[in-house]
Structure 1
């Protein structure tokens, strides 16, 4: 039924349900990469707050960042806008419907604006107003999972929603509803707002805009897809549609072969987090414990992304690797694969958390090569070379090696080539269809290309020139890398980051082709 609603005549999926999963999708036939699963318009969408809301807020009409202290305000409700002529201010899908509600609070302030103008509450308000603007979508919204059984008073999720959304909307706006608004929006209690907050937290998808702001959107069909840490679909959003009603329309496509009867999956966590971090995030935000193939495998599909080195028993050194004995048990001990030493989960979690803070701090400071190398050396004492904290450091280093004056030697290029290949192998294993890590893989292939081309131009270590065969071999590999870098981004062109990265890599490819032509090299 859902496929027909989206205009798909050959429905590629069936909707099933179970006690564990609720509703989910399975393939109605064999599906191949590129096959369309579904496409649909959002029920509702709204902006998230910007990182520094005291300085900058999204326009409530078009979501462009505006300076809060000097920017214009909506003439009716006083909320920050890019211009009084912004078309979104008069569009019911954007600001028009909520403006009537927001104008119930007449004051306009310049102090403590992040608390006064809470953009993170707008999605819940827009959901509530569907009763007036789109009753059919209101019905669809209420069919979505809210997990209210887990969001009871006293839980962190309930208390946060109550403080930052429910009380804010009730005290400032909803309690001031007059007869007409009460009639247009008959359900406006604290209970229904908490239910909406549950629906948003469980189902909302992030939409990144070209101007740097982010939205959250709710999609009634897409939300049925279950999570997997190795998803077989990728979704994208329409940002500049021919039909304005199609703005932020989602398209879900298959990225790896899916046989008939298999589950169609997406991912609600970060593909480069370790198993414990992913599962905790899913428990906290989506209220389920993931048991997918990757989570069930202590080696994470042979990538060792969470593995730690064994340091022995204090008397005898050991070069073994520590894995959780049961990765689906958060309290499981970590055991060495070579000796009898075990480490408690609490010790592992504390160590990984401390290391994560160090990595985050270095990355936030824009880590220099010496700083990154020093941290890599320290963490490598405890972590497997493929650990996700190590991956993060190496991903930064490969973008510095071969690009800064002091790090152009063949030694650094060799180090860069090895790091790139190692990280590419991990990335391909974890995300073979480029569903989640396409930008990471594209950057790695681009850096690999750069290192190979530079190597082809350098003399051998003994000072002799490279043979034509050696040069050609390096450039053939470089060509493969740059083509893969571009191919990885084919489904990311609606995203700002994807479009910018594609332009950079396309320029590199043209320079490479020009170089090969000048050297009369047929690659």
Structure 2
């Protein structure tokens, strides 16, 4: 939290926020400079300018060499992602893993927080507002014991141990948006200057979060309008950044405004990574000429054309028109490829059109054409089969599955199989080499070389994924 100002009513929260207005390019540049603070270089190698891609972007003020640092940026605001499967007993302030029971704030805001952070200035405002909104989980836990429990105790049975602390991920996810209300004046103005897609699902996110409280101010239109705007900014611009504390890793939801201003390209000339969830580091992946736009990617770089197109259309509301998206072979990587279903043919089938989300598919060997609906079923089968294995198998079983079973139904170039190989590399690197046989380590090295070859074909340069799998970034 960037300010010690006490915000003790919903009306104060709304008054504290900057009014919605249009921000000029010069004003935006000044707000970014204030936000960067001591991380701003005296003569930065980038500048903000109008972009032919989308509104505004980041451009090189001089020639930038591959691997060169472009900028570093602290998160404007962070909070828990509350993703499905994540460990919710993680402190919302310092992000360390808490005990499996009795980890909620002692002040009864129902947020998971450690003893040191519970009374901190950083937690005070959000704690008071969650208390005032009266979380339903808290009131339900304090209701009288059930008839069955009372009867059992009356008959001499030992009292049942109360259920462990319960965290509602819907209320936990909205915490990041609530924290925006507590930023400084310049920081709030910067949030207000950012794009916010008006997606109906975002409003549903707020409504579902409000249902976690008994006194959430849903009838306060100025507050709800401002909250909707903030949630829109976060869902449009925020990143999920890994944070490690005491060997516990969690994903944080962080807003990095300058990083978010960079426009998308499916094989970008810059890449970013995060240091402990709170610092974004952006470097040139390839040489960038003076005046060139500095781009990043909003998708995973090894996703197929079709998968990236669907993701961008559904979440970012645009269709990418980069060179990669216009090449159905993706520089010869064939990340979309599936096996031909024609009897006796083992050729690769790839989408024909590049401008539609439901293309025809053609075999490169027998040249038969297949409807998208049919090939989509095969792709979904491969996706579900491999993802189920990733979620349930040991590393050793995954290696066997990739080497022996996947070739029966999935080409080695298909992006889903590439994701499985990345999963093996990641798990083996994280768990330590001493737990694996020389043969298993050799498979990991082979997977790494295959993926590096694909990145080279794509022209990805010194991208973050390359640095991660070669362990240049820990």
2:392 counterpart residue number = 365
CA contact (8 A) 2:107 2:127 kept: no
Shift in Å at residue 46 of structure 1?
1.3
Q: Deviations over 1:10-29 (max 9, x none)?
A: 23223233575121122222
C-alpha change, 1:292 and 1:168, in structure 2 (3 Å) is farther
**C-alpha contact (below 8 Å) 1:60/1:89 kept by paired residues:** no
Report the equivalent of 1:435: 464
SS at match of 1:79: coil
The separation in 1 between residues aligned to 2:316 and 2:260, in whole angstroms, is 12
Q: By how many angstroms is 1:97 displaced?
A: 2.4
Deviation of 1:101 after TM superposition, in Å, equals 1.0
TM-fit CA distance, 1:113: 2.5
| Secondary structure of the corresponding residue to residue 294 of structure 1 | coil
State the number of aligned residues.
Answer: 407
For residue 77 of structure 2, what is the aligned residue in structure 1? 44
Q: Which consecutive unaligned segments of at least 5 residues does structure 2 have?
A: 1-28, 142-162
Matches within 5 A, 1:155-194: 157-158=201-202, 160-165=204-209, 168=212, 172-174=215-217, 187-189=222-224, 191-194=225-228
Q: Structure 1 residues 168, 286: CA separation in 2 closer, same or farther (over 3 Å shift)? A: farther
State the 1:395 CA deviation: 5.1
Aligned to 2:336: 306
Q: Quote the Cα distance in structure 2 between the aligned partners of 1:230 and 1:137.
A: 31
**1:337 CA displacement:** 2.6
1:103-151 CA distances to partner (integer Å, 9 max, x unpaired)?
Answer: 2045634678333872101011112x23xx4122111111111111xx2
Q: Helix, strand or coil: the match of 2:307?
A: helix
User: Is 1:125 aligned with 2:184?
Assistant: no
Q: 1:144 aligns with which of 194, 204, 211?
A: 194
TM-score for both structures, normalised by structure 2: 0.74
Instruction: Find the counterpart in structure 2 of residue 480 from structure 1.
Output: none
1:297-328: CA deviation from partner (whole Å, max 9, x where unpaired): 2112221111123343x4xx345322211223
1:81 paired to 2:113: yes
Matches within 5 A, 1:89-238: 89-92=119-122, 95-105=123-133, 108=138, 109=141, 113-115=166-168, 118-127=171-180, 129-130=181-182, 133-148=183-198, 151-152=199-200, 157-158=201-202, 160-165=204-209, 168=212, 172-174=215-217, 187-189=222-224, 191-210=225-244, 211-238=248-275
Structure 1 runs not aligned, ≥5 long: 178-185, 240-246, 443-487, 493-497, 499-523
* Aligned residue in 1 for 2:287: 257
Instruction: Quote how far apart the aligned CAs of 1:272 are.
Output: 2.6
Q: Partners of 1:337 and 1:117 in 2: how far apart?
A: 47
Structure 2 residue 85 is matched with structure 1 residue 58: no
Mapped to 2, the partners of 1:426 and 1:103 lie a distance apart of: 52
Deviations 1:56-87 (Å, cap 9, x if unpaired)? 4222331222235322524363533211x32x
Whole-angstrom distance in 2 between the partners of 1:43 and 1:112: 30
Structure 1 length as normaliser, TM-score?
Answer: 0.68
CA distance 1:394–1:52, change in 2 (3 Å): closer
Q: In 1, distance between residues paired with 2:295 and 2:443? A: 37
* Alignment root-mean-square deviation, CA: 3.5
1:350 aligned to which of 373, 377, 380: 377
SS at 1:329's partner residue? coil
